[in-house]
Amino acid sequence: MTKNFTIPQSVQWKNDHIFLLDQQKLPLETVYIELRTIQDVWDAIFTLKVRGAPAIGITAAFGLALAANNYDENDLTSFHEKLNKDREFLASSRPTAVNLAWALDRLSSKVKSATSVNEAKTILTHEAIQIQAEDEEVCRQIGTHALSLFKDQDKVLTICNAGSIATARYGTALAPFYLAKDAGKTLQVFASETRPVLQGARLTTWELMQADVDVTLITDNMAAHTIATKGINAIIVGADRITANGDTANKIGTYNLAILAKAFQIPFYVAAPLSTFDPTLEAGHLIPIEERDAKEITHIFGQQVAPEGVKVFNPAFDVTPNELISAIITEKGILRGNYKVEIEQLFSSLF
Ligand code: MRU
């Protein structure tokens, strides 16, 4: 039985609002904010107060339910019209993590069966709650599969935050580290700081330390040296979108690590739920890559560090080609080999 970890949930549904851990304030302050309007939800996703593909999807789902619960419309046609507009609005908050569109689509298709406005509101709320509950179980399953790939005392490198606060609970890439405790395995985690937003330094170290997981922080440019000198056994990362052929978008810097893994001949694992797969896209070059404000690079904690007016390129994600990925760990098991065929089989078996 998995012990109850003392890590906070990032998203909580409170019937008429969302209670959200403000990840921008971590690790110095643990602050929860209330999201009461669809604009609050859009802003929280856009400004990374909530981030991580599954947590973005869960928040957007609650956001749509929240918006719909406040509609005055009495007829279903105008209710659906308004819902579609709000769905589009929330979907526009961030482009790369497909869980956002996945969760909103799931609500939209479920609500089609409603025969009254009241029933539609209930369906939307229930479905959002269900998405969050399922994600917790899915992450636990991913963690169990991922743990089977590690030996006691392994040293594992990760980037960004694919942890509990990026999901409903446990995380994806970080789930095996929590589950290792119960399985009697000791794993040592190396967290790459993840410039420019520092999810590794601020969030991954914060949540792993609370669960007493052995974690060491490095800067991104220390990865090769750390692999060489500390004897890193494997790299594990999360994902924002995985295409039909297994190409994987994840936080900027992930591709660098995959190339390093190949150079050092250590496994490079991607851990992700099926809600992060986008079988409608053939390959990674079709994934929309978010580019963010130049200030994330030219400024550090509000302090300008680059010359005024310098040209900046700030992609938030990169795409790791499938051939660099040793295995993709899902709730349904571990894919390794011909991803195109395995992903097709996985999705056709679901319907
Ligand atoms: O920009 P972010 O912080 O939302 O990016 C998050 C990541 O890249 C995560 O690794 C990914 O979403 C997986 S979260 C389980």
Higher pLDDT: 3 or 293? It is 293
CATH topology of domain 150-350: Rossmann fold (3.40.50)
- For tokens 């679901």, what's the residue? 350
What is the average pLDDT value for the chain, to the nearest integer? 96
Round to whole Å and give the CA distance between 325 and 261: 9
> pTM of the prediction?
0.97
Annotation says 182 is catalytic:
no
Alpha carbon of 98 to those of 56, 240, 248, 294, 347: distances in Å? 9, 6, 11, 24, 16
Closest atom of ligand 1 to CA, residue 290: 1
H or E element at residue 76: helix 76-91
Tens digit of each residue's pLDDT (9 = 90 or more) over 107-133:
999 999 999 999 999 999 999 999 999
Residue 5: pLDDT band (50, 70, 90) is low
Average pLDDT over residues 9-37: 97
Round to whole Å and give the CA distance between 59 and 39: 12
Would you state the pLDDT for residue 270?
99
CB 23 within 8 A of CB 46: no
Query: Tokens at residue 207, please?
Result: 């949540």
Round to whole Å and give the CA distance between 327 and 229: 24
Query: Tokens at residue 66, please?
Result: 């929240």
**Is the pLDDT assigned to residue 1 strictly greater than 50?**
no
Catalytic residue (one of 240, 247, 278, 318): 240
Average pLDDT over residues 130-141: 98
**How is the chain split into domains, by residue range?**
11-138, 150-350
- Residue 113 Cα, ligand 1 centroid: separation in angstroms? 33
CB 271 within 8 A of CB 237: yes
CATH 1.10.1040.10 for domain 11-138, yes or no, is: no
Q: What is the DSSP secondary-structure string of 164-198?
A: GGGSSSS-STTHHHHHHHHHT---EEEEE--TTTT
Residue 166: pLDDT band (50, 70, 90) is very high
Higher pLDDT: 182 or 3? It is 182
Round to whole Å and give the CA distance between 37 and 65: 10
Q: Is the CB of 198 under 6 A from ligand 1?
A: no
Average pLDDT over residues 191-211: 97
Would you state the pLDDT for residue 9?
82
CB 239 within 8 A of CB 272: yes
Mutate to test the pocket of ligand 1, among 100, 208, 250, 293 (most ligand atoms within 8 A of CB): 250
Would you state the pLDDT for residue 301?
87
